[in-house]
C-alpha cells in the first residue's frame, strides 16, 4: 500500500511556500471531502504520524480495509486525541481528503464516534480541546502550548525576509520528501519554539530547561554567569546562556550545527553562524507567554529577522514523551 505524504497534521497548503512541514500535502486533494464509515481494525499511536485502518463494508456486502493517515501524536494529544480515545472494534466515521494519485490512503481530518463525539485528526479540526478558563500562571514555569497561528505566521513570513541568494537557491531545490523529520531530526529554534505541541518549562536556580514534545527535544539555558565556550562543539539546538530582566528571560544562543531547515521549514537552511536572542515574558494576564526572537545568520540572511508570538498556558496538557519512530517517519519514502 503506498503511503502518501502529509504535513504533520498542519495544513500548510493555506500558508505561503515558506512553510512546508514534514512531507508535502500535495498528494492529497484538500479541495475534496470524503466520508468513510467502518470498524477500527488498527490504531498506531506514533510519531511523526498516527495511522489507523477501518474495515469498510460496501453496498454489495464485500469488505475492504481503508487506511487513514493523521497527524503526529505530539500534535494531536494537546487537541484531545489520546491513545485510549479509540478502541479496536469500535464503529466510527472519518471525515477527510482523498489521494490525488489514485492511492487508497485517506488524509484524516476528524473522527466521529457512535455517540456523536468528534475527535481531531488534524490541527485544524474544530473539535480541538479548549484551554481552561481559570488557569493562570505565576511564572514562565509550567506547561505551555504554542498555537498554530504563531507557527503559520513565522513560516509564512519568509517571503518578506532579507534572504540571501544562497537561501533562496536552497529553498528552490528543496525536496519536501527529504526533510530532516524524515530522518527523525527535529526542527531547531526558533521554529521548535513555535511548533504546536506541548512544551514544559522547568525553572531552576542555574538553568531553565525547555522540554518540547517534538521528537523529545530539550533545550538547556545556563543562568550561572558562564559565557559561550570558545571552541564549543556545534549542537542541534546550539548553546544557550541567559539572564533575567525583571519577569523576562533573555536567552542568547550560538554554536548551532548546520541544518537543512534551520531558518524555517521548506528548505531554508542555517549555518554554524546562526545566532538567536529570545525573550520569554509572562503576560500580565497570566494566561500567555510572550515570545520574541531576533534571528541572524550571515550565511543566509543579509539582516536580522524579528518575530513575536505567544504561547497559551495549558496546565491541563501533558507531553506524549514519544520519540520519533524512524520506520514511521520513512514509511512514505516507499512511494513511487
Q: Which three cell numbers stand for residue 171?
A: 529553498
| CA trace torsion 261, 264, 268, 269 (10° rounding) | -50
Q: pLDDT class for 1, splitting at 50, 70, 90?
A: very low
| pLDDT of 163 strictly over 70 | yes
Select the more confidently predicted residue: 19 or 310. Answer: 310
User: CA-CA distance, 20 to 176, in Å (whole number)?
Assistant: 7
Q: Which of 40-54, 116-130, 196-210, 212-226 has the lowest mean pLDDT?
A: 116-130
Looking at residue 94, its pLDDT comes to 96
pLDDT digits (tens, 9 = 90+) for 117-134: 999 998 877 666 777 778
- In order of their start, the domains of the chain are 12-127 (2.40.50.140), 142-313 (2.40.128)
pLDDT digits (tens, 9 = 90+) for 82-97: 999 999 999 999 999 9
| pLDDT of 282 strictly over 80 | yes
Q: Which three cell numbers stand for residue 137?
A: 500562571
User: CA-CA distance, 198 to 179, in Å (whole number)?
Assistant: 22
Looking at residue 126, its pLDDT comes to 67
Q: Which of 57-66, 193-202, 286-295, 302-311 has the lowest mean pLDDT?
A: 57-66
Which of 139, 137, 144, 138 has its CA nearest to residue 249?
A: 139
What's the chain look like in SS3? CCCCCCCCCCCHHHCCHHHCCCCCHHHECCCCCEEEEEEEEEEECCCCCCEEEEEEECCCCCEEEEEEECCCHHHHHHHCCCCCCCCCCCEEEEEEECECCCCCCEEEEEEEECCCCEEECCCCCCCCCCCCCCCCCCCCCEEEECCHHHHHHHHHHHHHCCECHHHHHHHHCCCHHHCHHHHCCCCCCCHHHHCCCCEEEEECCCEEEEEECCCCEEEEEECCCCCCCCCCCCECCCEEEEEEECCEEEEEEECECCEEEEEECCCEEECCCCEEEEEEEECCCCCEEEEEEEEECCCCECCCEEEEEEEEECCCCCCCCCCCCHHHHCHHHHCC
Task: Decide: 5 and 16 in contact? Cβ < 8 Å.
Answer: no
| pLDDT of 17 strictly over 70 | no
Looking at residue 320, its pLDDT comes to 95
Q: Report the 10 Å Cβ neighbour count for 309.
A: 20
Query: What is the chain's length?
Result: 336
Q: pLDDT class for 25, splitting at 50, 70, 90?
A: low
Looking at residue 11, its pLDDT comes to 33
Select the more confidently predicted residue: 41 or 23. Answer: 41
Looking at residue 9, its pLDDT comes to 33
Task: Decide: 171 and 161 in contact? Cβ < 8 Å.
Answer: no
Looking at residue 128, its pLDDT comes to 67
Q: Which of 103-112, 252-261, 295-304 has the lowest mean pLDDT?
A: 103-112
Looking at residue 88, its pLDDT comes to 97
| pLDDT of 324 strictly over 70 | yes
pTM to 2 decimal places: 0.87
Amino acid at each position: 500500500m503506498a503511503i502518501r505524504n502529509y504535513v504533520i497534521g498542519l495544513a500548510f497548503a493555506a500558508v505561503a511556500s515558506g512553510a512546508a512541514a514534514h512531507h508535502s500535502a500535495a498528494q492529497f486533494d484538500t479541495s475534496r471531502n470524503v466520508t468513510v464509515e467502518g470498524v477500527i481494525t488498527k490504531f498506531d499511536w506514533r510519531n511523526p504520524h498516527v495511522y489507523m485502518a477501518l474495515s469498510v463494508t460496501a453496498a454489495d456486502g464485500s469488505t475492504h480495509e481503508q487506511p487513514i493517515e493523521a497527524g503526529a501524536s505530539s500534535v494531536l494529544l494537546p487537541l484531545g486525541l489520546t491513545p485510549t480515545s479509540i478502541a479496536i472494534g469500535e464503529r466510527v466515521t472519518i471525515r477527510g481528503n482523498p489521494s490525488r494519485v489514485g492511492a487508497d490512503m485517506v488524509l484524516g481530518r476528524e473522527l466521529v464516534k457512535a455517540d456523536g463525539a468528534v475527535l481531531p485528526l488534524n490541527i485544524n479540526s474544530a473539535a480541538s480541546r479548549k484551554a481552561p478558563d481559570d488557569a493562570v500562571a505565576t511564572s514562565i514555569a509550567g506547561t505551555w502550548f504554542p498555537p498554530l497561528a504563531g507557527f503559520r505566521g513565522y513560516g509564512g513570513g519568509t517571503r518578506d525576509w532579507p534572504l540571501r541568494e544562497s537561501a533562496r537557491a536552497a529553498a528552490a531545490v528543496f525536496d519536501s520528501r527529504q526533510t530532516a523529520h524524515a530522518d527523525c531530526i527535529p526542527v531547531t529554534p526558533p521554529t521548535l519554539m513555535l511548533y504546536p505541541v506541548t512544551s514544559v518549562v522547568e525553572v531552576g536556580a542555574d538553568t531553565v530547561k525547555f522540554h518540547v514534545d517534538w521528537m523529545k527535544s530539550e533545550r538547556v539555558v545556563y543562568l550561572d554567569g558562564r559565557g559561550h565556550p570558545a571552541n564549543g562543539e556545534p549542537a542541534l539546538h546550539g548553546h544557550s546562556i541567559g539572564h533575567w530582566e525583571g519577569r523576562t528571560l533573555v536567552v542568547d544562543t550560538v554554536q548551532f550545527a548546520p541544518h537543512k531547515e534551520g531558518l524555517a521549514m521548506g528548505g531554508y537552511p542555517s549555518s554554524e553562524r546562526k545566532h538567536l536572542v529570545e525573550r520569554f515574558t509572562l503576560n500580565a494576564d497570566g494566561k500567555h507567554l510572550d515570545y520574541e526572537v531576533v534571528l541572524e545568520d550571515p550565511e543566509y540572511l543579509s539582516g536580522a529577522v524579528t518575530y513575536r508570538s505567544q504561547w497559551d498556558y495549558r496546565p491541563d496538557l501533558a507531553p506524549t514523551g514519544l520519540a520519533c519512530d524512524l520506520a514511521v517517519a520513512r514509511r512514505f519514502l516507499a512511494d513511487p
